[in-house]
Amino acid sequence: MSTRHLLSIADLSPEEIGFVVTRAMEMKRNGHGAPLAGKSVALLFEKPSLRTKVSFDVGIQQLGGHPIYMGRDEVGLGGREPVADVARVLCRYVDAIVARVFAHRTLAEMAKHSTAPVINALSDAEHPCQTLADLLTIRERKGNLAGLAIAFIGDGNNVSASLALGAASVGASFVIASPEGYDLPAGVMAQARRIAAAHGGAVRQARRPQEAAAGADVVYTDVWVSMGDEAEAEARRKAFKGYQVNLDLMRQAKPDAIFMHDLPAHQGEEISAGMLEHPQSVVFDQAENRLHAQKAALELLVR
Ligand code: NVA
């Protein structure tokens, strides 16, 4: 049997995404067995992390497994040792590799050489584990996913790329409002549109945040300056001015719309002060759901 990797959210079929979300709800409610008993999982991180690191570490232990965290300087991925060799060695010891990297191609190279599943814990291209938690959170709040209107305000980055593909897979309609030059890559839009066409969803690009938020069930944003983009910080802060989720923008959405953010958040930039505490904010449920969604994904992928 060939190894299943999770580099893009689209590596899971729409049926599997639905299954993971349902299974995560079940595990959250009723608990679970120990599907990772006797198994070890490497956590290989090139970038800082709070939610991803802790939720994987705790989640793996709750499933009966043994997590092994390695920070940037411990391994020297691609520096001290070629990525292919790191992967070929690690998969002899562990049953899965969870990796957070700067360049998505590092993950692709790892997956090519690993007989253990490689799970994307954030790259410059995608953040699939975040999307699984997002879909779980939306389903908890709205009772369903198909037919919902999800508006993303801001950068065409890793988080919005995975969300666009994930929303398309579950038959939701996804719109991103981004300033010119910061759209989602054309390839991601095309792929999301293809998936949406087959599953009853829709994917579109807007320019004005107000246009995207109008009538939305979900208003979602992320940082203007992602990890690895620090050199562009100044230019980005200029370009994204006006792309803030605030009370005015929330008023464009449906009265029962929820506000989402994958965190960390920057008040005064992509959100106004108080948005995390807004009565419609679900951001801390969303953060908690990383744990449940990833446990369901691990159960599916780690054999
Ligand atoms: N887009 C952000 C997400 C952080 C969880 C980044 O890549 O830094």
Reported as a single tens digit per residue, the pLDDT across 168-180 is 999 999 999 999 9
Please, are residues 174 and 150 in contact by the beta-carbon 8 Å criterion? yes
Show the CA angle centred on residue 290, arms to residues 287 and 295, nearest 5°.
155
Torsion angle, alpha carbons of 1, 114, 72, 285, to 10? -10
> What is the Cα 247 distance to its own chain's centre?
25
In short, whether 265's Cβ falls inside 6 Å of ligand 1 is: no
Please, are residues 222 and 286 in contact by the beta-carbon 8 Å criterion? no
Closest approach atom of ligand 1 to CA 47: 8
Q: What does the pLDDT average to over 234-255?
A: 98
Write out pLDDT tens, residues 168-217.
999 999 999 999 999 999 999 999 999 999 999 999 999 999 999 999 99
In short, whether 131's Cβ falls inside 6 Å of ligand 1 is: no
Rounded Cα–Cα distance for residues 173 and 233 (Å): 30
* b (16+ CB within 10 A) / e for 209-222: beebbbebbbbbbb
CB atoms within 10 A of CB 88: 15
Report which DSSP code applies to 291.
H
Contacts made by residues 124-127, CB under 8 angstroms, sequence distance 24+: 124/158, 124/226, 124/228, 125/8, 125/158, 125/161, 126/7, 126/8, 126/9, 126/158, 126/161, 126/162, 126/165, 127/158, 127/159, 127/161, 127/162, 127/262
Please, are residues 154 and 262 in contact by the beta-carbon 8 Å criterion? no
Please tell me the predicted confidence (pLDDT) of residue 68. Answer: 98
In short, whether 163's Cβ falls inside 6 Å of ligand 1 is: no
| Cα→Cα distances 218→30, 106, 125, 248, Å | 27, 32, 22, 15
Rounded Cα–Cα distance for residues 43 and 65 (Å): 12
In short, whether 226's Cβ falls inside 6 Å of ligand 1 is: yes
pLDDT of residue 2 exceeding 90: no
pLDDT of residue 1 exceeding 80: no
Model confidence band, residue 76 (pLDDT cutoffs 50, 70, 90): confident
Rounded Cα–Cα distance for residues 118 and 113 (Å): 10
In short, whether 294's Cβ falls inside 6 Å of ligand 1 is: no
Segments making up each domain of the chain, as ranges: 9-126+288-301, 130-286
Please tell me the predicted confidence (pLDDT) of residue 108. Answer: 98
Please tell me the predicted confidence (pLDDT) of residue 227. Answer: 97
Rounded Cα–Cα distance for residues 39 and 36 (Å): 5
Give the right CATH number for 9-126+288-301 from 3.40.50.300, 3.30.70.3400, 3.30.200.20, 3.40.50.1370.
3.40.50.1370
Ligand 1 binding pocket mutation candidate from 101, 162, 262, 294 (most atoms within 8 A of CB): 262
Please, are residues 24 and 257 in contact by the beta-carbon 8 Å criterion? no
Confidence (pTM): 0.98
Instruction: State the residue for tokens 């299974």.
Output: 23
Rounded Cα–Cα distance for residues 186 and 41 (Å): 34
What SS3 state is found at 25?
A: helix
Q: Of 155, 105, 126, which is closest to residue 134 (Cα–Cα)?
A: 126
Domains 9-126+288-301 and 130-286 share a fold: yes
Q: What does the pLDDT average to over 62-77?
A: 94
User: How many angstroms separate the alpha carbon of residue 233 from the centre of ligand 1?
Assistant: 14
In short, whether 222's Cβ falls inside 6 Å of ligand 1 is: yes
In short, whether 159's Cβ falls inside 6 Å of ligand 1 is: yes
Give burial (CB, 10 Å; 0-12/13-18/19+) of 178: buried
Rounded Cα–Cα distance for residues 148 and 253 (Å): 12
CATH no. for 130-286: 3.40.50.1370
